[in-house]
């Protein structure tokens, strides 16, 4: 079984990239093998690797790679979340697939088309620059056909008022790349960007509890990593300050899917990101500046007006994402995979390995 390690700059940890051609496809065997892999990683001092990308040459004629993401959860070696995706891990998977000969070597200008089995996303990874140690990409998340922006709202509302510790907190629940809850950091008592980016355990705890409250208010399972949560503040010159929670701590920057979701959400009039982003959200062709504790990214969301007057999203892009390839992992042992419990599949409730294998997706989505 071939296992590579690769890490995108700004990701909270490396990704274990697994060759799906030699990996079990049934859910129980898949998770059992991942549990064994986690034990191996911990034994080799890499217990912090909580992202798993399972890839193979695509069975679909329009794509180069089929990709499936599994998030390892910190509770135990056999605890996983099958919902959602990970943009940084998609880039890591493309890097590893090229380095190990699964796809053609990467050269500037080439594009690798990735079929995300978790949620049906179409992602194009465009190579900007290559070196011996890694690759710099632009990631394009495509909507084919273009999506009416209101369809990204998970509750059908631009703002959902969530009961939270005796008051009502407005959040925007948006699904693009991954499902996110966006909240104005001022509603959590944050006074400015310095306070937002401080390592404040009280803010982390408040955001974690608000995420749980969001799930409970919608009748969703609170276990696992999705939906994610991010707190926002406006930049004076336009754009957003962003602080996001990852697994199991603060995200050092913002997830690539988080930046993609934020870029899409900023185009939805009345949403929390739209209200805070200022002029950067009003111009459909403008880049959205996003500042995080670990640096800045610029998000480009391309949308057009349909004949019905509703804006439709065609794609969202993030450029200059660097990925480091760390090589093949030595597997000292190979044991029979064992069945383990897993988190959710098509709906936000717990699912176990008693279910048959199928592609997973994050729902709810509104028509």
Instruction: Specify whether the CB–CB gap between 312 and 148 falls below 8 A.
Output: yes
Q: Where are the alpha helices (DSSP H) in the chain?
A: 27-43, 87-99, 193-197, 201-218, 256-265, 272-277, 279-282
Per-residue pLDDT tens for 227-260? Answer: 999 999 999 988 999 999 998 899 999 999 999 9
Query: How confident is the model over 59-90, as pLDDT tens digits?
Result: 999 999 999 999 999 888 899 999 889 999 99
Locate all alpha helices (DSSP H) within 44-131, ordered by sequence: 87-99
Question: For residue 124, what are its two tokens?
Answer: 């194009």
Judge contact between 46 and 330, C-beta under 8 A: no
pLDDT at position 166 over 80: yes
Do the beta carbons of residue 321 and residue 58 sit within 8 Å? no
User: Which has the closest alpha carbon to 262: 181, 148, 187, 362?
Assistant: 181
pLDDT digits (tens, 9 = 90+) for 171-189: 999 999 999 999 999 999 9
Q: Please say if the pLDDT value at position 153 is more than 60.
A: yes
Token digits of residue 362 = 């994050």
Mean of the pLDDT values across residues 266-276?
Answer: 95
Q: What percent of the chain clears pLDDT 90, i.e. is strictly above it?
A: 72
Predicted model pTM: 0.87
Residue 190 DSSP class: -
Instruction: State the pLDDT confidence band at 335, using cuts at 50, 70 and 90.
Output: very low
pLDDT at 310: 85
Q: Are 208 and 302 spatial neighbours (Cβ–Cβ below 8 Å)?
A: no
Q: Right CATH number for 149-300 from 3.40.50.300, 3.40.50.720, 3.10.310.10, 3.40.109.10?
A: 3.10.310.10
**Nearest of 325, 324, 322, 326 to residue 137 by alpha carbon:** 322
Tokens linked to 96: 């590893």
Q: What's the pLDDT score for residue 333?
A: 47
pLDDT tens sequence across 5-35 = 999 999 999 999 999 998 888 888 999 999 9
**pLDDT at position 305:** 79
Tens of pLDDT, residues 92-148: 999 999 999 999 999 999 999 999 999 999 999 999 999 999 999 999 999 989 999
Nearest to 128 by CA among 352, 319, 271: 319
Task: Specify the pLDDT at position 325.
Answer: 97
Nearest to 93, CA basis, from 48, 130, 123, 61? 123
Pairing outcome for strands 160-164 and 167-176: antiparallel
pLDDT above 90 for 165: yes
Q: What is the pLDDT of residue 329?
A: 79
Q: Where are the domains of the chain?
A: 149-300
Q: What pLDDT digit, counting tens, does each position of 294-308 carry?
A: 999 999 999 887 788
What φ, ψ does residue 31 adopt, rounded to 5°? -70, -30
């Amino acid at each position: 079984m071939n296992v590579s390690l690769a890490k995108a700059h700004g990701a909270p940890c490396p990704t274990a990239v697994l060759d799906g051609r030699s990996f079990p496809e049934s859910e129980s065997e898949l998770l059992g093998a991942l549990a064994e892999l986690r034990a191996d990683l911990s034994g080799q001092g890499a217990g912090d690797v909580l992202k798993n990308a399972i890839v193979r040459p695509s069975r679909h004629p329009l794509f180069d790679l089929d990709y499936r993401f599994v998030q390892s959860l910190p509770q135990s070696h056999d605890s996983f979340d099958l919902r959602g995706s990970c943009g940084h891990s998609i880039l890591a998977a493309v890097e590893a697939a090229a380095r190990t000969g699964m796809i053609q070597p990467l050269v500037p200008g080439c594009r690798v088309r990735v079929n995300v089995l978790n949620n049906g996303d179409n992602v194009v990874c465009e190579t900007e620059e290559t070196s011996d140690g890694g690759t710099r990409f632009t990631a394009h998340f495509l909507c084919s056909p273009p999506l009416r922006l209101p369809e990204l709202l998970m509750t059908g509302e631009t703002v959902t008022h969530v009961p939270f510790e005796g008051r009502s907190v407005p959040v925007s629940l948006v699904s693009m790349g991954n499902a996110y809850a966006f909240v104005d950091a001022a509603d959590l008592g944050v006074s400015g960007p310095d306070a937002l980016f401080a390592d404040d355990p009280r803010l982390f705890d408040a955001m974690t509890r608000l995420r749980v409250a969001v799930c409970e208010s919608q009748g969703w399972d609170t276990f696992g990593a999705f939906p994610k949560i991010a707190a926002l503040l406006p930049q004076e010159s336009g754009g957003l300050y962003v602080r996001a929670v990852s697994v199991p701590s603060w995200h050092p920057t913002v997830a690539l899917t988080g930046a993609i979701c934020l870029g899409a959400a900023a185009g939805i009039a009345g949403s929390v990101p739209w209200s805070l982003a200022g002029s950067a959200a009003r111009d459909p062709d403008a880049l959205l500046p996003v500042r995080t504790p670990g640096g800045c990214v610029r998000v480009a969301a391309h949308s057009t007006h349909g004949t019905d007057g509703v804006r439709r999203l065609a794609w969202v892009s993030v450029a200059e994402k660097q990925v480091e390839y760390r090589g093949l992992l030595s597997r000292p042992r190979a044991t029979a995979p064992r069945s383990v419990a897993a988190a959710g599949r098509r709906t936000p409730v717990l699912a176990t390995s008693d279910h048959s294998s199928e592609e997973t997706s994050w729902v709810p989505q509104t028509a």
